[in-house]
Amino acid sequence: MAMTKPQVGLIGLGTMGAALALNIAEKGFPIAVWNRTASVTAEFHAGAGALAAQIVPTDTLAGLVAAMAPPRSIILMVPAGKPVDDMLAQLAKHLAPEDLVIDAGNANFHDTNRRTAQGLPFRFMGIGVSGGEAGARHGPAIMAGGTRQDWDRMAGVFRAIAAQADDGTPCADHMGEAGAGHFVKAVHNGIEYADMQMIAEVYGVMRDGLGLTAPQIAPILARWNEGVLRSYLVEISAAVAGAVDPVTGGPLLDMIVDAAGQKGTGRWTAIEAQNLGTPVPVIEAAVMARNVSSRRGERAAGEALYGPAPTRATLPVGDLEQALIAGKILCYAQGFTMMTAAADEFGWALDMPAIARVWRAGCIIRSAMLNDMAEALAQDPTRNLMLAPFFADLLRQTTPALRRVVAQGALHGLGLPALSAGLAWFDLMRTARGTANMIQGQRDYFGLHGFRRLDGLDHPHGPWASS
Ligand code: 6PG
């Protein structure tokens, strides 16, 4: 029997595009595919096994469009930035107004806002897709942006291909108009950076402060993954720490160069948080630490000049687990607060509990704690999570250990930027009488900027104004 003409298409058969196309085909949606290099398309189709029957390979963009039944829905999986704009310009020559193009790459949400507003001659959505290759193939988390009408049109496909949370809910949802989906994905990636950095920091304390080897660290992380910290990133960190180097037979982790790469999405979150005036210091610290990690020559010169850090901390390993729990709560509290501010700024109806629910499975930051976050946010969507009763209890239990860990880091020369930033933010946020009265006094002194008085009296300037 001939296959019905696909209404779904996909452009860009790189690692993520190919995995997504197979996932879509497997869930019973016929799909037409096209890649700029024709041999890639042919190889992909030849390697699709039983799913090949659901897939229509095409050689040209015109061929892709002709192979599909209108109204078409074409997923773009090309590198973010100019390649997306170039592809949209090409598609404009072929598509009808009711056709829909879905940018599923890691676009900057400002680009998605711009593309939505620029009056493309077809419908347009931007969706954040998380979960790496395995997620794309077997169930990613999908954060969709665009009109409600286009979401409704695609929801069946997105929900079918997405990961499912433990309660069976698909991890695909509509985040809001225009760039909302890519924005939520950027915050996801910022949190991804922070989660990874905080795990790297406690790994560093275990390695340099406590003198533990990678094979000793692996089971500790694996044990944490059985408790409050249960998450994909802790799970894979245990696996990374336990891996044996096939070349030397020693721990592979000890052979990996200590310079982290980045494509930029974590940085966008830090920049946007500053623009919105809702800082995300744990994420900012993680971005900073990645940048510092790549300056290996300078770091070596620093060590030669100042000598190695004193190291040798005295600390129970349990403190590190507690510190990680506290740091994680504080990081997410910052991330959700930032999203609340963005919803106001950009006019998006971002649904905080829905975001926490979408992140429960499929994505890189999936974790057990997101269930509790979804519940806390359902009770009060705009509340800073550190003020939610469930997390306040957890923070009361875990911040003493976070304090000890940060203090040990400071005493023994172990850099812990993300954990320290989390603690500093916590201390600022739990202090009713802060120190900005001094800032206001200074501003008035040198710039006559004025200040408000605690007693409400009308006294716009200090006595220095008259001198
Ligand atoms: C995901 C990831 C993914 C990201 C990589 C690399 O959710 O699947 O966030 O989208 O591209 O993790 O990001 P960096 O190169 O910036 O580390």
Tell me: pLDDT of 276 over 90.
Answer: yes
Respond yes or no on whether the N-terminal peptide bond of residue 71 is cis (omega within 30° of 0). yes
Q: How far is the CA of 108 from the centre of ligand 1 (A)?
A: 13
Q: 142: Cβ below 6 Å to ligand 1? A: no
Check whether residue 379 and residue 456 sit in a common domain.
no
Position 2 scores a pLDDT of 58
Same domain? 119 vs 27:
yes
| Distance of CA 130 from the midpoint of ligand 1 (Å) | 8
Q: Is the CB of 265 under 6 A from ligand 1?
A: yes
**Residue 189 beta carbon below 6 angstroms from any ligand 1 atom:** yes
Choose the residue to mutate in 192, 231, 360, 365 for probing ligand 1, maximizing ligand atoms within 8 Å of C-beta: 192
Q: Does the beta carbon of 364 lie inside 6 Å of ligand 1? A: yes
Contact 462, 445 (CB under 8 A): yes
Q: Are residues 153 and 52 in the same domain?
A: yes
The answer to whether position 103 is within a domain reads: yes
Domain of residue 238, residue span: 186-429
Q: Residue 258 Cα, ligand 1 centroid: separation in angstroms?
A: 18
Residue 91's pLDDT is: 98
pLDDT on residue 275: 96
**Looking at the structure, do residues 26 and 123 belong to the same domain, yes or no?**
yes
**pLDDT, position 312:** 83
- The CATH number assigned to the domain holding 352 equals 1.10.1040.10
Residue 290 alpha carbon, nearest atom of ligand 1: 17
Q: Is 14 in the pocket of ligand 1 (CB under 6 A)?
A: no
In this structure, what are the phi and psi dihedrals at residue 102, rounded to the nearest 5 degrees?
A: -120, 110
Structural domain total, the chain: 3
Ligand 1 centroid – CA 346 distance (Å): 24
Entry pTM? 0.96
Q: Are residues 239 and 143 in the same domain?
A: no
Neighbouring C-beta atoms of residue 462, cutoff 10 Å = 15
Q: How confident is the model at residue 1 (pLDDT cuts 50, 70, 90)?
A: very low
User: Does any ligand 1 atom lie closer than 6 A to the CB of residue 79?
Assistant: no
Q: Identify which of 133, 191, 109 has the alpha carbon closest to the alpha carbon of residue 362.
A: 133
The pair of structure tokens assigned to 431 is 């202090």
Cβ pair 17, 77 in contact under 8 A: yes
| Total residue length of the chain | 467
Helix (H, G, I), strand (E, B) or coil at 415: coil
Tell me, yes or no, whether 2 lies in a domain. no
Residue with the smallest CA separation from ligand 1 atom 14 is 262
Specify whether 264 is located in the same domain as 376.
yes
Q: Are residues 190 and 166 in the same domain?
A: no
100 Cα distance to chain centroid:
26
Max distance between CA atoms of the chain, in angstroms, equals 93
* Residue 106 beta carbon below 6 angstroms from any ligand 1 atom: yes
Residue bearing the CA closest to ligand 1, atom 17: 262
Ligand 1, atom 9: nearest CA belongs to which residue?
Answer: 189
| pLDDT score for 179 | 97
Tell me, yes or no, whether 316 lies in a domain: yes
Ligand 1 centroid – CA 434 distance (Å): 37
Q: In the structure, what pLDDT confidence band is assigned to residue 264 with cuts at 50, 70 and 90?
A: confident
Q: Which residues does the annotation mark as catalytic?
A: 185, 192
37/104 same-domain check = yes
pLDDT tens-digit map of 20-52: 999 999 999 999 999 999 999 999 999 999 999
